[in-house]
Structure formats: structure tokens, C-alpha cells
């Protein structure tokens, strides 16, 4: 309660002193932000040094910095716990998730995404010819590995459940280990995250992409409605659009474009 009152008081004072800044002025009045992120490379993860890294995280922090806002801390949080803490205002920003109607009443989203996830199927290289497909209806008799709580493309998943057996686990890494041990036929994964895991688990040449592109989901940072204002998130959206026209943004995208692990 004290934090919310202090944020509101600082905002009123800042806008009174700096009316020419408009919405951008609010960024300078936002207390240092507490950021949560999960382990989902290359979008968000902690490197070998323990420092927060990843495309979605680094874009988010860069935009906040351009607004004059500071990050107080970045904590590793399982996704479900991060959502809960964000809802209670125990963190201010959660990196990163897709935009869902049921979440919009709970959290604030910017209008502009920081990255996008492209879904693909992966299979064993040795089985690729037998497992090639063009539609989910062709997967009858197969088992597809997925991760609990992930927001996969809705239409594809509906058709997949009507055609194949869907095996649900707690992480992509578990799925890829099951795939290499022939306990599932396919793994449904974000493409870059899948390529990252293939490299990290040293499975190059054993696991490959197969089938068509399945879908694209935009990724956004989620802001707490209890500690961050709508005006601040609007300002974030505007600054993010400007940032995407910079060489710094393009360099970040290029750094993570091939899915190869970055320490």
C-alpha cells in the first residue's frame, strides 16, 4: 500500500514539475522496477555468470532504460509463480508471455510485442522421412510432446488433440530427452528454443525440424496493475516502436537469430 501511494505521489509531483514531457515524464517517476523471468532461452534465461539474458528480456530492459526507468532486480521465477507475484504486485514486470483475454483483466500489456515465437515440430533425424507431415490430421497414431501451461496456437492444438496422443510434461528439455530416447515421436516447441536445446544437449544431427510452420505468437512483457500505471505502459509501447528502428535492436535480434546458446 505504501509503495502504491508513493508511486502515485511521485507521478503527480513529476507531471507538475515537467508538464512538457507528457507521458514520457512518468517514466522518470516510476520507482525502480522488480523484474521476473523464467528459463526460456533464447528469450529469457540466466547466463553462466548468473546475469539475466535473452532477447525478450534485453529488449524490455533497453526500452525501460530509454524511458529513464531503472531495474531494481531481476529474479528467476517459474512462470506460474511469476504470474501470481505479478498479480499481487510483488513484482512489477514479468518477461515474457503471449497476450490472452483472461490475462488482460489481471495484467497490463504494451501494444507492441518485444519478440515473437514461431512454433515448429521436431523429430529424430533417423525418422524424418516417415514423420514428414503437412497437417495435424496426418499425425494419427503418433505421440507429440508438449509443455504444461504453454499457449500453443489454438487451432493447431484442437486439430492435434483430435488426431494424435499429446504427452504433457513440465519442460521443453524433458521433451527433447524423451524424443532422443524414442518415448515420443515429435516435440512441439518454439523454433529458437528448440534449436537452443538441441545445441545445449549436444543433439545436433540427431534432432531436426519437420513439417510446416505451425504458427506465430507475439511475446510481451506483462506489467502489474497494482504497481504500474496504464500511462507508463503506453509510454513503453511508444518507446518500443522507436527502439525497433535502431541498430541496437537489430543487433539484439541478430544475436539470437540462430538459436545457438550464448553464455
Fold classification of 117-216 is D-Maltodextrin-Binding Protein; domain 2 (3.40.190)
pLDDT at 27: 52
Domain ranges of the chain: 2-115+218-255, 117-216
**Which carries the bigger pLDDT value, residue 20 or residue 204?**
204
Which tens digits make up the pLDDT trace of 94-113? Answer: 998 999 888 999 999 999 99
pLDDT at 29: 67
Q: Do domains 2-115+218-255 and 117-216 have the same CATH topology?
A: yes
Q: Is residue 13 scored above 60 in pLDDT?
A: no
Q: Is residue 8 scored above 70 in pLDDT?
A: no
Q: Is residue 12 scored above 70 in pLDDT?
A: no
> Which residues contact residue 106 at a Cβ distance below 8 angstroms, ignoring those fewer than 6 apart?
86, 87, 225
Is this model's pTM higher than 0.85 or not?
no
Sign of CA dihedral 108, 115, 256, 79: positive
Q: Is residue 18 scored above 70 in pLDDT?
A: no
> Which residues contact residue 96 at a Cβ distance below 8 angstroms, ignoring those fewer than 6 apart?
37, 43, 44, 56, 57, 60, 114, 115, 219, 220, 221, 222
**Which carries the bigger pLDDT value, residue 11 or residue 176?**
176
Report the percent of the chain where pLDDT is more than 90: 76
Residue 77's pLDDT band (cuts 50, 70, 90): very high
Which tens digits make up the pLDDT trace of 20-66? Answer: 344 444 555 678 999 999 989 999 999 888 899 999 999 999 999 99
Contact 175, 169 (CB under 8 A): yes
Fold classification of 2-115+218-255 is D-Maltodextrin-Binding Protein; domain 2 (3.40.190)
pLDDT at 28: 52
Amino acid at each position: 500500500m505504501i509503495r502504491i501511494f508513493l508511486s502515485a505521489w511521485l507521478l503527480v509531483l513529476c507531471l507538475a514539475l515537467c508538464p512538457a514531457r507528457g507521458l514520457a515524464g512518468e517514466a522518470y517517476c516510476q520507482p525502480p522496477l522488480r523484474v521476473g523471468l523464467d528459463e526460456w532461452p533464447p528469450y529469457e534465461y540466466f547466463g553462466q555468470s548468473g546475469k539475466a539474458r535473452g532477447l525478450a528480456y534485453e529488449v524490455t530492459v533497453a526500452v525501460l532504460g530509454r524511458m529513464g526507468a531503472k531495474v531494481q532486480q531481476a529474479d528467476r521465477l517459474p512462470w506460474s509463480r511469476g504470474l501470481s507475484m505479478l498479480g499481487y504486485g510483488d513484482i512489477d514486470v514479468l518477461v515474457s508471455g503471449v497476450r490472452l483475454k483472461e490475462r488482460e483483466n489481471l495484467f497490463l500489456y504494451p501494444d507492441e510485442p518485444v519478440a515473437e515465437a514461431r512454433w515448429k515440430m521436431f523429430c529424430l533425424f533417423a525418422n524424418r522421412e516417415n514423420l514428414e507431415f503437412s497437417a495435424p490430421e496426418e499425425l494419427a497414431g503418433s505421440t507429440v510432446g508438449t509443455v504444461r501451461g504453454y499457449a500453443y496456437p489454438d487451432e493447431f492444438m484442437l486439430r492435434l488433440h483430435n488426431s494424435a496422443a499429446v504427452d504433457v510434461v513440465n519442460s521443453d528439455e524433458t521433451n527433447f530427452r524423451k524424443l532422443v530416447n524414442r518415448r515420443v515421436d515429435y516435440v512441439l516447441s518454439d523454433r529458437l528454443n528448440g534449436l537452443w536445446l538441441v545445441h545445449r544437449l549436444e543433439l545436433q544431427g540427431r534432432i531436426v525440424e519437420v513439417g510446416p510452420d505451425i504458427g506465430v505468437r507475439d511475446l510481451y512483457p506483462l506489467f502489474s496493475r497494482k504497481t504500474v500505471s496504464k500511462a507508463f505502459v503506453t509510454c513503453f509501447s511508444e518507446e518500443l516502436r522507436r527502439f525497433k528502428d535502431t541498430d541496437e535492436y537489430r543487433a539484439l535480434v541478430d544475436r539470437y537469430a540462430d538459436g545457438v546458446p550464448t553464455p
